[in-house]
Structure 1
Amino acid sequence: MSEKIIILDFGSQVTQLIARRVRELNIYCEIHPFNKIPTIDESVKGIILSGSPCSVRDEDSPRVDVSLFRGKLPVLGICYGAQLLAFLGGGEVYNSGHREYGRAALKTVAPSPLLEGVSENNQVWMSHGDTIMSIPDDFEVIGSTDDVKYAAFHIKGEQTFGIQFHPEVTHSLEGKTMLKNFVIGVCNCSQDWTADSFVDSTVAALKAQLGDDKVVLGLSGGVDSSVAAVLIHKAIGKNLYCIFVDNGLLRKNEFEDVLESYKNLGLNVKGVNSKDIFYKALEGLTDPEAKRKAIGKAFIDVFDQESHLIEDVKWLGQGTIYPDIIESVSVSGGPSQTIKSHHNVGGLPDYMKLQVVEPLKTLFKDEVRLVGKTLEIPQFILGRHPFPGPGLGIRILGDITAEKVQILQEVDHIFINGLKNRGLYDGVWQAGAMLLPIQSVGVMGDERTYERVVALRAVSSVDGMTADWCHLPYDFLADISNEIINKVKGVNRVVYDISSKPPATIEWE
């Protein structure tokens, strides 16, 4: 049984970041809602309590019975988690009168394994309204800042620690050292969770789970479905059947290019040209949600029809990754859990009667790429930008026509190829073009024009949860704008989107 760290989520926006930092140390961890504590068996090496937007003083604030693990396992409370430990232990937590937010210098008050190797006066990041004002007798302070006396504490006789700052964010310059001290030094984790070990254990598990059964998988050409397909293929070989649907909303030449790229991977892939089915389903629709539903239903119909052509299929393979299935805790109106719907296949209906196999469901996107590298999947597949499931259907604002798709494909092709040719592509998380439902006046030669406007979008991000617009070189943007206007008939104006997420989203619809 492999070892792991359990992170209990109290609603913090950066809980996933804690998990990412632990995973970066080659240690497996899982996020669970505070009110759905998993079984604590011998595989669990430690517990981390996340932050929260709530106050421990509120009657309806998220609580957990810490006696389930305090004194039995190493525990680290972060921000709200630390305040909860102090409050439940009999300490005092009050509103400090002002929000303590930003950089602070942490001074070591007492030696502790949590702060071993950490510099004196090292920078940490505070973000809390409440402050621990007193601690129980069996607590000892191990770190302070100028404004926060109990910035870090240890419970005597236990391997339990609390810190009122966020070690997981990059602004805490030695936060990763503290997390490493906890999960390796205190929890004694062995750092054996690597891409190589994941491939070996997952392929073995898939062989045991699937046996001689047949699996059908919908390929998208993206990173997640490609890595999932190669993993399953490694386990069951020819019993994996892959279907790649051309919905008419892909990038220029993508259908042909993707099919060609899979030939060298040994996968059994069938390409299905279903453009007309999708265009008909989208006819006259302008509402973004209506378009998404129409695209999703059309995909299900096509996929179901193609699946029935394969005899005795028992499993549906999916490229679901960890952020798709993590239960998120909503604490503003009381605890509730929601699971994100799968964005790759849109959620297949019960009538397909297939069991689901999701070999990547414990991985973050960057981990999927590392596994893909171990599987020797080509970099041009692993390095592909994320592309929305509905494709250009949500990058054409308003109704969808074949003519609009062709225009946007040409614009997008020029933009993406320009990024690649100038060596900018790999530094961008996601890029694309939007066809706007407006026209603008222009002059071409001696003629007045009244044609379409396109917006270019390029963002930097780690996982897509937040994103900043990319500061692409002005001369590059000028060249791309000129090329689009000169080569794409029907476009006479190009704009660049400089909105960050939040408040904007990466896609426009």
Structure 2
Amino acid sequence: MQEKIIILDFGSQYTQLIARRVRELNVYCEIHPFNHLPQFDDTVKGVILSGSPYSVRQDDAPQIDFKSLEQKFPVLGVCYGAQYIAQHSGGEVKPSSIREYGRANLQFIANDNVLMKNISPASQVWMSHGDTIYSTPDNFEIIASTDTVKVAAYHVAGTNTYGIQFHPEVTHSTEGKQLLENFLVDICGCKQDWNPDAFVETTIAELKAKLGDDKVVLGLSGGVDSSVAAVLLHHAIGKNLHCIFVDNGLLRKNEFEAVLDSYKHMGLNVRGIDAKDRFLSQLAGVKDPEQKRKIIGRVFIEVFDDAAHEVQDVKWLGQGTIYPDVIESVSVKGPSATIKSHHNVGGLPDYMKLKIVEPLNTLFKDEVRKVGKALGIDPLILGRHPFPGPGLAIRILGDITPEKVAILQEADAIYTNNLKESGWYDKVWQAGAIFLPVQSVGVMGDERTYEHVICLRAVGSLDGMTADWSHLPYELLAKISNEIINNVKGINRVVYDISSKPPATIEWE
């Protein structure tokens, strides 16, 4: 059985980041809300208590029986977690005289303590708290301080319980990864044996046992997640996997044919369905982005259901759901406020009567790519930028027409090709062209024009949660703009989006 670390989530914005750092150290971990505890079986090697937007002094602050946990497992409290352990052990937590937020340096480090092993003098850490631990019980040993925070880290004597006031998971804590490794390896005894090859071997074995001779139907999108899920399932059940790739008329230029061809070269049992007219006719005249998403989702389910019914005795629906989707659905506060409708297959109607199999639902996006590499999947598929489920429908602001789709496909192709030729495609996380619902005056030759505007968008990100606009070279932007205006009829102006997320989202709709 795979050993693991349990991270109990108290609502911190950094909880997923703790998990990512633990996994980067080749240790498997799971995030669970503090109010939905998992089974703590023999595979659990340790527990991490996350930060929280709450104060431990609030009446409605998250509560956990950490005493029973520390009797069985090593425990590391981070920020709120550290304050919670201190207060519920007899210490005192008060509002900080000066709110600690940002970079700080450790002035004192007890290097003889295993948690602080190999942490440098004056090591930089990231603070983010409004409360401070003012006093600790007699059996608490202070093992790190800053010039303003006396209890920056502590160890409860005679136990494997530790608390740190700073956030080791963020890159601003320059030796945070070392501290986490000290906890995982030296204190919890983790073997650091969780890697893509191990995941592939274990997952294929589990899928074989779970599915047997059953048939599975899976909707491919051309993206990383569904492609990796398909190959894992293919390794487990072979031709009993039936893949369906739908052309909704809103893919990028020549994408349907190119992706379908690459899937067939991978040995997948895949069927392509041309449903362009069905989607575009349903979208005619619709301008509201939420309505577009709902129409596309509904029509996709109808097309997918028709195709699935042609497979005899199918029992399972395969999906490329990844871990952030799972975490979101069981978060501390429940699913977050809807910013945009979910754009994957998502809520399938009851009449399909299919059981769900999600081979990637424990992985983050970067881990999915590593697994895909271990499976030998074409780097062109693994390196593809994220592309929204509704496709170009939400990159055409306003109503959708075949003419606008064709214009955007041409402009987007020129943009993407230039990024690839210049070496910039792999340097940005996501890029795309947006068709704006405005026209502008231009001059071509001796003629006045009044034509459409294309906006270029390119961002850098780790996981799409936050993103910064990419500083593409002026010379490259100029070349792309000239090629689009000269070659795409109907466009006479190109602009570049320099908004970051937040406050702007990556997609415009």
Which interval holds the TM-score relative to the shorter structure?
over 0.9
Shift of 1:71: 2.8
- 1:480 corresponds to: 480
- 2:51 corresponds to: 51
Tell me if the contact between 1:9 and 1:329 (Cα under 8 Å) persists in the aligned partners.
Answer: no
Tell me if the contact between 2:297 and 2:343 (Cα under 8 Å) persists in the aligned partners.
Answer: no
Measure the CA separation in 1 of the matches of 2:395 and 2:109: 55
Tell me if the contact between 1:32 and 1:38 (Cα under 8 Å) persists in the aligned partners.
Answer: yes
- 1:106 corresponds to: 106
The amino acid of 2:287's aligned partner reads T
The amino acid of 1:310's aligned partner reads V
Tell me if the contact between 1:33 and 1:328 (Cα under 8 Å) persists in the aligned partners.
Answer: no
Shift of 1:336: 3.9
For residue 298 of structure 1, give the secondary structure of its aligned residue in structure 2.
helix
Shift of 1:108: 3.6
Tell me if the contact between 1:71 and 1:160 (Cα under 8 Å) persists in the aligned partners.
Answer: no
Say whether residues 1:6 and 2:6 are aligned partners. yes
Of 100-109 and 338-347, the range deviating more from structure 2: 338-347
- 1:438 corresponds to: 438
Say whether residues 1:264 and 2:281 are aligned partners. no
Tell me if the contact between 2:456 and 2:496 (Cα under 8 Å) persists in the aligned partners.
Answer: yes
Alignment of 1:368-407 (within 5 A): 368-407=368-407
Tell me if the contact between 2:328 and 2:334 (Cα under 8 Å) persists in the aligned partners.
Answer: no
Deviation per CA, 1:118-147, whole angstroms, max 9, x where unpaired?
A: 111111111111111111122110000000
Shift of 1:97: 2.9
Say whether residues 1:141 and 2:142 are aligned partners. yes
Deviation per CA, 1:31-51, whole angstroms, max 9, x where unpaired?
A: 011111111111111000111
Say whether residues 1:235 and 2:233 are aligned partners. no
Tell me if the contact between 2:432 and 2:457 (Cα under 8 Å) persists in the aligned partners.
Answer: yes
Tell me if the contact between 1:251 and 1:413 (Cα under 8 Å) persists in the aligned partners.
Answer: yes
TM-score normalised per structure 2: 0.97
Tell me if the contact between 1:326 and 1:339 (Cα under 8 Å) persists in the aligned partners.
Answer: no
Deviation per CA, 1:56-100, whole angstroms, max 9, x where unpaired?
A: 101011111112302321000111111111111111111113321
- 1:129 corresponds to: 130
- 1:285 corresponds to: 286
For residue 46 of structure 1, give the secondary structure of its aligned residue in structure 2.
strand
- 1:465 corresponds to: 465
Shift of 1:441: 1.0
Measure the CA separation in 1 of the matches of 2:97 and 2:275: 61
- 1:156 corresponds to: 157
Measure the CA separation in 2 of the matches of 1:283 and 1:68: 60
Tell me if the contact between 2:244 and 2:273 (Cα under 8 Å) persists in the aligned partners.
Answer: yes
Shift of 1:308: 0.4
For residue 439 of structure 1, give the secondary structure of its aligned residue in structure 2.
strand
- 1:301 corresponds to: 302
Say whether residues 1:84 and 2:92 are aligned partners. no
- 2:227 corresponds to: 226
Deviation per CA, 1:334-357, whole angstroms, max 9, x where unpaired?
A: x44559986432321111000010
Measure the CA separation in 2 of the matches of 1:245 and 1:76: 47
Q: What are the ranges of 5 or more consecutive residues in structure 1 without an aligned counterpart?
A: none
Measure the CA separation in 1 of the matches of 2:378 and 2:331: 40
For residue 271 of structure 1, give the secondary structure of its aligned residue in structure 2.
strand
- 2:62 corresponds to: 62
Measure the CA separation in 2 of the matches of 1:339 and 1:40: 31
Tell me if the contact between 1:325 and 1:339 (Cα under 8 Å) persists in the aligned partners.
Answer: no
For residue 100 of structure 1, give the secondary structure of its aligned residue in structure 2.
strand
Measure the CA separation in 1 of the matches of 2:68 and 2:273: 53
The amino acid of 2:138's aligned partner reads D
The amino acid of 1:262's aligned partner reads Y
The percent identity for this pair of structures is 71
Tell me if the contact between 1:11 and 1:329 (Cα under 8 Å) persists in the aligned partners.
Answer: no
Deviation per CA, 1:276-317, whole angstroms, max 9, x where unpaired?
A: 110111111111100000000000000000000110000000
Measure the CA separation in 2 of the matches of 1:491 and 1:55: 54
The amino acid of 1:294's aligned partner reads I
Q: How many residues align?
A: 506
Measure the CA separation in 2 of the matches of 1:339 and 1:160: 35
Measure the CA separation in 2 of the matches of 1:108 and 1:242: 59
Deviation per CA, 1:9-55, whole angstroms, max 9, x where unpaired?
A: 11111110000000001110000111111111111110001111111
Shift of 1:266: 0.4
Measure the CA separation in 2 of the matches of 1:404 and 1:337: 35
- 2:169 corresponds to: 168
Say whether residues 1:248 and 2:245 are aligned partners. no
Shift of 1:447: 1.0
- 1:34 corresponds to: 34
Deviation per CA, 1:331-389, whole angstroms, max 9, x where unpaired?
A: 7xxx4455998643232111100001000000001111111111100100100000000
Alignment of 1:182-201 (within 5 A): 182-201=183-202
Measure the CA separation in 2 of the matches of 1:380 and 1:346: 26
For residue 176 of structure 1, give the secondary structure of its aligned residue in structure 2.
helix
Of 60-69 and 311-320, the range deviating more from structure 2: 60-69
Tell me if the contact between 1:195 and 1:374 (Cα under 8 Å) persists in the aligned partners.
Answer: yes
Shift of 1:263: 1.9
Tell me if the contact between 2:109 and 2:121 (Cα under 8 Å) persists in the aligned partners.
Answer: no
Tell me if the contact between 2:293 and 2:343 (Cα under 8 Å) persists in the aligned partners.
Answer: no
The amino acid of 1:122's aligned partner reads S
TM-score normalised per structure 1: 0.97
- 1:16 corresponds to: 16
Say whether residues 1:423 and 2:423 are aligned partners. yes
C-alpha spacing 1:228/1:473, structure 2 compared with 1 (3 Å): same
Measure the CA separation in 2 of the matches of 1:272 and 1:99: 58
Measure the CA separation in 1 of the matches of 2:272 and 2:55: 54
Q: What are the ranges of 5 or more consecutive residues in structure 2 without an aligned counterpart?
A: none
The amino acid of 1:198's aligned partner reads F
- 1:447 corresponds to: 447
Measure the CA separation in 2 of the matches of 1:387 and 1:121: 43
The amino acid of 2:195's aligned partner reads T
